[in-house]
Amino acid sequence: MIYVSFPRTPDDYLQDCRWHAQLSHHVYHGLRSRFGRLGVEFVGWDSDIPAGPTDLVVTCLPNRNYRSGARIIGVENDTLIPERWTQATADIHGLTVQVDDIAALHSLVDNAVGLIVMTNDVALGRLRANEARAASHAAWLSRACNGNIGYTPHPIDHQRFRRIPKLFLNRKRLWNSQQHRMMVYHAGWRKNSAEAITILEGLGLVRDQHFDVVDTVDKNDPQAMAALVERYNVIFSGSFSESGPINMIEYLVQGFVIAGHEEWWGGYGFVESVWSYDPALRDEMTRRMAWLMNPRNVGQMQQHRDRILQHFLTRDDMRWETFLERLGTIIRHAL
């Protein structure tokens, strides 16, 4: 038997496109199509799973069954930065910032018999380059599950997030009133964009006129998403706490220009879209923000957007089918 357990149920994805509903839906139905003969059952997040010695539990931290002695296949988000697993703060260019405190979960990873690790392209690049911290972290994860491990970018449901596509960037013309605007995610320490907002205001840009600051967006509301398409060209997130963040890649696939922190966003040749907290680069960050906010640059921005969007729409490694094949390989190895 293969038990699947996530915070949301597979059917939630019919009305809710947020990450845990998306993950639960695709993993459960994908495993049923691949392992139906073994039996695949969804179990609620807060339930104790009566897994036998040959059964597997496909779940993510901090699911209680990680502690039960069950044979766990972990579906985990990770930045491939080892300190994120042992400390409640991170040093980012000398700035001490709060991050999710997951130190108590560190030892639980040893209970997994297989892991599929979802991360971002920047982290995967560090791993391919054998960067010291990423390599040592990968070695720990591999030891924890006896080498039964795979790494992957976050998969994305292209059809779902292209339902209301942004085909062209806004340009103010004589015959319309559409202006070039940015939406900035900012909410406390997890979605921190305070320094970027300070730079925008220092450039003489006015909040609620040239840019807007939001803490959340209801992506399940088609009217709200259509309004975003009409209103914004650029979506910015200075988040340093997440491995994607996946919601920004969803915006990218929808057709927005996205800009964000260098730990998860490399820009794909569009340097003005990469944000750094390095104080030595403060003037450069000011230049990049000024460039992003200049309506005269919308034509070049459109070219960058089109090129990057085409890359993301055609790459196979972010498709759910590819992810499920990789997960299936890890499960088969553990059976």
Residue 58: CATH number of its domain: 3.40.50
Tell me, what's the pLDDT at 243? Answer: 59
Residue 252 has pLDDT above 90, yes or no: yes
Same domain, 272 and 175: yes
Tell me, what's the pLDDT at 185? Answer: 94
Same domain, 60 and 197: no
Give the long-range contacts of residues 195-198, CB within 8 A, separation 24 or more.
Answer: 195/238, 195/277, 195/285, 196/236, 196/238, 196/275, 196/285, 196/289
Mean local confidence (pLDDT), 185-191: 82
Same domain, 181 and 324: no
Q: What is the DSSP string of 95-152?
A: EEEE----GGGGGGGGGEEEEEEEE-HHHHHHHHTT-HHHHHHHHHHHHHTTT-EEEE
Same domain, 116 and 148: yes
Mean local confidence (pLDDT), 269-298: 97
- Residue at token pair 């994805």: 13
Residue pLDDT, tens place only, 85-102 = 888 888 888 878 788 888
Tell me, what's the pLDDT at 175? Answer: 58
Dist. CA 32–CA 189, nearest whole Å: 39
**What separation in angstroms does the CA of 134 have from each of 141, 146, 308?**
11, 18, 25
* C-beta of residue 108 within 8 angstroms of C-beta of residue 57: no
Looking at residue 296, its amino acid is: R
Same domain, 180 and 296: yes
Structure tokens at 110: 């040893």
Dist. CA 35–CA 94, nearest whole Å: 49
Same domain, 129 and 169: no
**What separation in angstroms does the CA of 233 have from each of 23, 133, 210?**
28, 35, 11
Using DSSP, state whether 227 is helix, strand or coil.
helix
Mean local confidence (pLDDT), 231-251: 87
Looking at residue 189, its amino acid is: W
Same domain, 172 and 149: no
Look at the chain and report how many structural domains it folds into. Answer: 2
Same domain, 306 and 168: yes
Mean local confidence (pLDDT), 73-95: 88
- CA-closest candidate to residue 42, choices 77, 70, 16, 10: 10
Residue 275 has pLDDT above 60, yes or no: yes
Residue 176 has pLDDT above 70, yes or no: no
Mean local confidence (pLDDT), 133-153: 96
Same domain, 39 and 131: yes
pTM of the predicted model over 0.75? yes
Residue pLDDT, tens place only, 194-231 = 999 999 999 999 999 999 999 999 999 999 999 999 99
Same domain, 123 and 185: no
Same domain, 136 and 208: no
DSSP 8: S
Half-sphere exposure of 110 (CA within 13 A, CB side): 3
Same domain, 102 and 193: no
Burial of 327 (0-12, 13-18, 19+ CB in 10 A): buried
Range of the domain at 142: 2-155+319-334
CA 69 to chain centre: 30
CATH no. for residue 269? 3.40.50.2000
